[in-house]
Amino acid sequence: MTISESRRTFFKWIAAAGGLVTVALAGFPAVRAFFSPVFRRRRPENWIRMGDVGGFAWDEPVKVDFVDEVRDAWVEARRPRNVWVYTADGERFTVYSGRCTHLGCNFAFDTEKTVFRCPCHHGFFDVKTGAVLGGPPPRPLDALETKVEGGVLYARYQEFRLGVPAKVEA
């Protein structure tokens, strides 16, 4: 082999190696983006402190307001949220999401009729069970998972799809 042939072979190897490095550098982000849903971490559980167990009135729902923090890459958003806490005996608690299952409007407690009432489209819900009593909501109120630790009530806040008959996490 002559010097010019060995030089040509050397440059072929350098060109091939440079091409492989370029393909790897350009292709890795594309492959990672394609497979990222498989390796995506689940959103951490969002347990919200509702208050001391003894602080909730019996047979009367109590509205609890809080701020939900959401982080999406570099963007951080704070959204005001609310839930309704109901207990009949002071031991078992039901926490309803503060959003109507129809279109996500905030509903209120109607003290005269003792029902939850959505003012937007006249949806009515039973306070004890969350069942639809009237109007267009397609399903009962969304009850959230609860736990009591050290005399404090916590609820795992999550959002569900609106306007559909099944309770599906959003």
pLDDT at 87 over 90: yes
Grade residue 38 by pLDDT with cuts at 50, 70 and 90: low
What is the spatial distance between Cα 103 and Cα 161, in angstroms, rounded to a whole number? 9
pLDDT at 82 over 90: yes
Instruction: Kindly provide the residue ranges of all beta strands, DSSP E only, lying in the chain, ordered along the sequence.
Output: 47-52, 62-72, 75-87, 93-97, 108-110, 115-118, 123-126, 132-134, 143-149, 152-156
What is the spatial distance between Cα 98 and Cα 107, in angstroms, rounded to a whole number? 7
Name the token pair of 40: 């995506």
Nearest Cα neighbor of 102 from 130, 127, 84, 123 is: 123
CA distances from 104 to 81, 147, 162 (A): 11, 25, 6
pLDDT at 163 over 80: yes
Phi, psi angles (nearest 5°) of residue 65: -100, 145
Mean pLDDT, residues 34-52 taken together: 74
What is the spatial distance between Cα 15 and Cα 2, in angstroms, rounded to a whole number? 20
pLDDT confidence of residue 127: 93
Question: Which are the contacts of 155, defined by CB distance < 8 A and separation ≥ 6?
Answer: 47, 48, 50, 83, 85, 95, 144, 145, 146
Mean pLDDT, residues 106-113 taken together: 92
CA distances from 129 to 99, 124, 126 (A): 15, 12, 6
What is the spatial distance between Cα 110 and Cα 120, in angstroms, rounded to a whole number? 14
- Is there a contact between 46 and 145 (Cβ–Cβ < 8 Å)? no
Grade residue 1 by pLDDT with cuts at 50, 70 and 90: low
Mean pLDDT, residues 125-142 taken together: 93
